[in-house]
Every structure is written in C-alpha cells, then in structure tokens.
C-alpha cells in the first residue's frame, strides 16, 4: 500500500463526499519533537492525527487522517494559534470537540473546528504567520507559572536598540543569512512586522509577522537582535548580516522555549483563498 492523501478513503468506505475542516490548535511544545510526525517520538501531528482518527472512527489504519498545518513548528516551539486542515467523509465528525480533547494529552488542545470550502489550505492559503518570542530579562519579570514559554536571560535587554536593529529586516528580502537553506526553495520572504515591546509584567516580547518563514528564521533573527539588545554586537549587525546573504556565527539561534506561533491570517473569500494558494505555491519555488 502506498502512502498518500487518499489513504483515509482507502480504509473507510466513503459515506459522503469528502468535506474539509479547519481546526485551531494550541499546544505546549516542551515535550514534543516538533510538529511533523516521526516514528518513535512524540510529535504534535502524531498525537493529533491519532486522536482525530479515533474520533472520526477511522479504525484499523495506522495513519488514517492526514492533517496539514500552517506552520511546522520545531521541537520545543509552542503554539496558541496553529491552524490545520483535514478532510473527512464523516458527516458530523467532531460534534464533541470535548471528546477529541479528552483523547489528546493535556499539552494539546483543539480550540475550534469548522467546515470550510475545499479551497481552504491551512498552509498555502495563509496570508501571514505571527510568532512571538518572550524573554524575562530581570528577576522581577520571572514568573514560574509562565516559565514553560518564557526564556530567562540575565542581562537586561535594550528594547529601543533592538527595534532600531530590526528595521532593515522589515520588508521583502532574501533571508538566506537567517535560514537553513533547502534545495530548490527560495529564501525570499516578506516581513510585515517586527518589533519588540516591554509588557506590563516586565517581559521583553518580540512580535514578528511574515508571509512565511524559512526553517530557523525566527530564532536566528531573535538571536541577532538579542545580541544587540544585550550590547554584545553593534546595532548594524542584523542588517549587515541580512545584506551579506551568508550565515554568521556571531549570534546564536535562540532556544525553542520562548517561541510561540500566535496567529495565522487567511483571506476571507473563496476566490482569494485560491489566488493566495497559487501565489504561495509559486513563491516557494525558485524561478
């Protein structure tokens, strides 16, 4: 038997036409080896597909429901607003979302599930992804109730310096210097928003919104900006690195712990969903 997207249909007799569903998911990534299913290790996709398979009654198949996500988060990265889609022939498949949550580990919660047009693709229809990176850079900001998703640093961060250093990264650029390159894929991305702010409870929080991110990109950018914020590298460093187009080892890629996928935005109408998916697919392939 070959693996493929029609796997579920081969196992279960088709009751009705396949319908498409969008599900919003939150997870504490601490104990997971990332999003993508891998044999023998806990992954978010793995536990989600297994639980969903049971709710939808696709028994007997090892991999019966295939779930596609908006952002394939790395090991240890969290999500509050991950979006996935999947297809199901079961008419009202998850009426009790609570039953699905009951089957999931406490670290993963399905927050909503709605039927969407077939044109909706969690990955390719997305207009943008929003990530946040949270740092407690003072003892006052340390909160044991949030320690699972906030990184502790001992040196105080200069928010203004980081925002000045971030400016050259905003806009459409080749982010090769901040990415792990992948054969046949472009590293051009459009960063729509990139800013640091100090929250009421004393955290330094970076918000970054981009049409898409290459592998490691957020954590590499964060590392460069934190090096500036701690006074270890000059303010010009991130912009100069971007322009150079080659990875530099002066600033480290930041740990996964502080990173969280907060939100994914999609167009409203079906026509726009299709257009955006075509645009995204084209953009990810090198000309």
How many residues at the interface with a copy of itself, by CB under 8 A?
Answer: 27
**Are 204 and 161 in contact, with CB atoms under 8 Å apart?**
no
Phi, psi of 36 (to 5 degrees): -70, 130
Question: 9-28: which residues touch a copy of itself (CB under 8 A)?
Answer: 26-28
177-to-2, 116, 180, 181 alpha-carbon distances in Å = 38, 37, 8, 9
- Of 46 and 238, nearer to a copy of itself (C-beta) is 46
Whole-angstrom Cα distance, residue 27 to residue 128? Answer: 20
- 3-state secondary structure (DSSP) of residue 236: coil
Site membership for a copy of itself, residue 109 (CB under 8 A): yes
Asked if residue 166 lies in contact with residue 194, where contact means CB atoms within 8 angstroms, the answer is: yes
**Integer Cα distance of 154 and 213 in angstroms:** 28
Nearest CA-CA partner of 133 in 69, 180, 199, 68: 199
Has 74 been annotated as catalytic? yes
Distance in angstroms (rounded) separating the CA atoms of residues 272 and 87: 20
Is residue 75 a contact residue for a copy of itself (CB under 8 A)?
Answer: no
Tell me the closest approach of the beta carbon of residue 143 to a copy of itself, in angstroms: 5
Q: Is 200 in the site for a copy of itself (CB under 8 A)?
A: no
89 binds a copy of itself (CB under 8 A): no
Calculate Rg over the CA atoms of the chain.
20
Stretch that binds a copy of itself, among 55-63, 67-75, 106-114, 157-165 (CB under 8 A): 106-114
Interaction between residue 279 and a copy of itself (CB under 8 A): no
Task: Give the whole-angstrom CA distance, residue 241 versus residue 205.
Answer: 22
Q: Least distance in Å: CB of 190 to a copy of itself?
A: 28
Figure out which of the listed residues 10, 41, 112, 269 binds a copy of itself, where binding follows CB under 8 A: 112
Provide, rounded to whole angstroms, the least separation between the CB of residue 284 and a copy of itself: 30
Min dist. Cβ of residue 262 to a copy of itself (A) = 11
Of positions 1, 91, 114, 154, contacts a copy of itself by CB under 8 A? 154
Q: Which of 6, 17, 24, 74 is catalytic?
A: 74
Q: Please list the active-site residues.
A: 74
Binding site for a copy of itself (CB under 8 A): 26-28, 78, 80, 97-98, 101, 106-112, 139-140, 142-149, 154, 260
């Amino acid at each position: 038997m070959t693996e493929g997207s029609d796997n579920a249909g081969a196992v279960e007799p088709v009751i009705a036409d396949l319908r498409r569903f969008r599900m919003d998911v939150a997870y504490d990534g601490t104990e997971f080896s990332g999003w993508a299913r891998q044999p023998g290790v806990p992954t978010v996709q793995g536990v989600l597909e297994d639980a969903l398979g049971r709710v939808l009654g696709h028994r007997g198949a090892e991999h019966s429901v295939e779930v596609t996500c908006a952002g394939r988060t790395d090991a240890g990265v969290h999500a509050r607003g991950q979006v996935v889609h999947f297809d199901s022939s079961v008419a009202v498949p998850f009426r009790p979302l609570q039953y699905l949550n009951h089957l999931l580990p406490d670290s993963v919660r399905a927050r909503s599930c709605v039927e969407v047009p077939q044109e909706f693709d969690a990955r390719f229809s997305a207009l943008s992804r929003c990530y946040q990176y949270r740092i407690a850079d003072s003892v006052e900001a340390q909160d044991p109730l949030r320690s699972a998703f906030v990184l502790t640093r001992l040196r105080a961060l200069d928010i203004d310096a980081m925002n000045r250093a971030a400016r050259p990264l905003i806009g459409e650029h080749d982010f090769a210097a901040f990415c792990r390159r992948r054969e046949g894929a472009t590293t051009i991305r459009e960063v729509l928003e990139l800013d640091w702010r100090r929250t009421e409870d004393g955290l330094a929080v970076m918000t970054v919104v981009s049409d898409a991110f290459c592998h490691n990109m957020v954590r590499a950018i964060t590392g460069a900006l934190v090096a500036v914020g701690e006074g270890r590298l000059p303010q010009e460093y991130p912009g100069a690195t971007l322009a150079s187009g080659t990875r530099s080892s002066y600033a480290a890629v930041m740990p996964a712990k502080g990173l969280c996928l907060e939100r994914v935005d999609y167009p409203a109408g079906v026509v726009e969903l299709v257009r955006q998916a075509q645009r995204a697919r084209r953009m990810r392939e090198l000309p």
